Structure 1
Amino acid sequence: MKTKITALALLFISTALFGQEGWKTLEQEEYAISYPKDWVSSDQKPQPSIQFLLLADEASQKEDLFRENINLNTEDLGGNDMDVEVYAKKSIDQISMQIPSAEIISNQNIKVDGQDAVAIVWSADFGNGMILKFKQIIITYNQKGYALTFSSSDAEYNQYIEVGDKILNSFKLAR
């Protein structure tokens, strides 16, 4: 436990010294993530497995009526040390099964905080005239699956993906 606390303390000191000015950090026992000060952290949990919801400034919904956001979904892998690529395939299969209009745009191996991860970009028409686009970072660590998701309207995705990537890339696991 002391190791986790020390690692998180070092993370936050380095974030404060070298991080981006005007950013806040959401820290939990298992992870930390930084986001711009004009975004808000919400306790709203549309599903029980959602750990947090970060919402862009309310102005982000003026043009397209959609507020860009980032959430973290976690899943206990039941004692299984599942490979991240296997877990990512499982996630893609689930998206395709549950959302028939989903289109997988890209699927690539990356690193987040030194951890193997998979970045999946996909979009879907949810039947309300709005196409949403997502960038999902999939990580498996310590017998747990993490799906960190940036959500945007397709119309504003390119406008918000730069800040979305900075937030996603700030994600740190406590080790």
Structure 2
Amino acid sequence: MKIRILTLALCITTTFAFAQEMKTYTKDNLTIDYDATWEISEQKMQPAVKFMILSDASSQISDSFRENINLSSESLQGQKMTATEYAKISLDQITSQIPTAKIISNESKKINGLDVQEIIWSADFGNNMILKFKQVAFVRGGEGYVFTFTSTTAEFDKYVESADKMFSSFKFVN
């Protein structure tokens, strides 16, 4: 009995010791928890980008790429759309603009009560830069949203768990 209790105590201690420390970012009616080793960037690459979260700078040592997550949104201009329909439009744009894009998976899910379409795809951008993307598309209040986790294919599996935790923590404040 003592061995079972000791084993259980060791498992619980190990779980807490290796748990990710999270920070919370809130802006414009949105909130997300993110890995404390990552950082928020207010720099907007495109006007539709709400925020970007960058992995620790050390992540680019082996592959010269810094993994990141961003959230973009756009007005649907009164069009009624499901997450699946919205994601199809995004996928059509990707495949027409990026000839090397390969769709790996495309499935409907529910995250935090939202109906979402989760898409994983990759593309070769030349110069030995093959990137892999995990996108979560959804619609709310006349807006279409897309979360995008971007990584090199070599490090995707290393960071996707952190990205998933961040995706699943996302909420609208109101």
TM-score, normalising length from structure 1? 0.86
The gaps in structure 2 that reach 5 residues or longer are 1-18
Aligned length: 156
Output the CA distance in 2 between the equivalents of 1:31 and 1:57. 23
Aligned position for 2:47: 48
Query: After the TM superposition, which residues 47-86 of structure 1 pair with which residues of structure 2 at under 5 Å, given as runs?
Result: 47-86=46-85
Which protein has the larger Cα radius of gyration, Structure 1 or Structure 2? 2
TM-score, normalising length from structure 2? 0.86
CA deviation string 1:68-125 (max 9, x = no partner): 0000010100022211111010010010011110000000101121010000000000
Output the CA distance in 1 between the equivalents of 2:20 and 2:104. 33
Query: After the TM superposition, which residues 90-109 of structure 1 pair with which residues of structure 2 at under 5 Å, given as runs?
Result: 90-109=89-108
Percent of aligned pairs with the same residue? 47
Which letter maps to 1:101? T
Aligned position for 1:9: none
C-alpha deviation, 1:21, in angstroms: 6.1
The gaps in structure 1 that reach 5 residues or longer are 1-19
**3-state SS in 2 of match to 1:165:** helix
Runs of 4+ in structure 1 deviating by more than 2 angstroms, as ranges, are none
Aligned position for 1:154: 153
Superposition CA RMSD, Å: 1.2
CA deviation string 1:153-172 (max 9, x = no partner): 00100111111111111111
